[in-house]
């Protein structure tokens, strides 16, 4: 099953929002939320494979083969995972990621991830 141009664009938008969230995460010292030893240095090292995966997935979606659907779904899943993790931090009373743009990025990836799954089902049915 190949992805329509609309699905490819939606993927690119969500991937961009997720990468921007990772930039925002550095501002909020996300490594402290996860109690990671090594501070920002370890955080940067951990972000290398995360961002590489998102960029690799973009490449797979752009060439639009049968395998593209797996990477399309993976990024939508990572969007929901990101929102779930940060929602749990928020419910626990953590004060990080509360600036308007931080919240907007999390809401955007939630909406975009949902749209990815919904439109994938609709456009490939």
Q: What is the pLDDT of residues 64-110, one digit of tens each?
A: 999 999 999 999 999 999 999 999 999 999 999 999 999 999 999 99
Contact (Cβ atoms closer than 8 angstroms) between residue 61 and residue 6: no
Per-residue pLDDT band at 123 (split at 50, 70, 90): confident
pLDDT of residue 97: 96
Longest dimension (CA), the chain: 47
Domain that holds residue 78: 5-123
Number of domains in the chain: 1
pLDDT of residue 46: 96
pTM reported for the whole predicted model:
0.94
Residues 6+ apart with CB under 8 A from 15: 54, 57, 58, 75
Residues 6+ apart with CB under 8 A from 13: 112
pLDDT of residue 42: 95
């Amino acid at each position: 099953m190949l992805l329509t141009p609309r699905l490819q664009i939606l993927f690119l938008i969500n991937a961009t929002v997720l990468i921007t969230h990772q930039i925002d995460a550095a501002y909020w010292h996300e490594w402290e939320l996860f109690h990671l030893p090594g501070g920002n240095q370890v955080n940067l090292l951990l972000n290398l494979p995360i961002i590489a995966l998102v960029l690799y997935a973009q490449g797979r979606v752009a060439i639009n083969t049968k395998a593209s659907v797996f990477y399309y779904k993976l990024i939508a899943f990572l969007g929901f995972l990101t929102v779930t993790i940060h929602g749990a931090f928020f419910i626990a009373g953590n004060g990080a990621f509360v600036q308007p743009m931080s919240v907007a990025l999390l809401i955007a990836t939630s909406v975009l991830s949902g749209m990815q799954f919904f439109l994938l089902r609709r456009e490939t049915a």
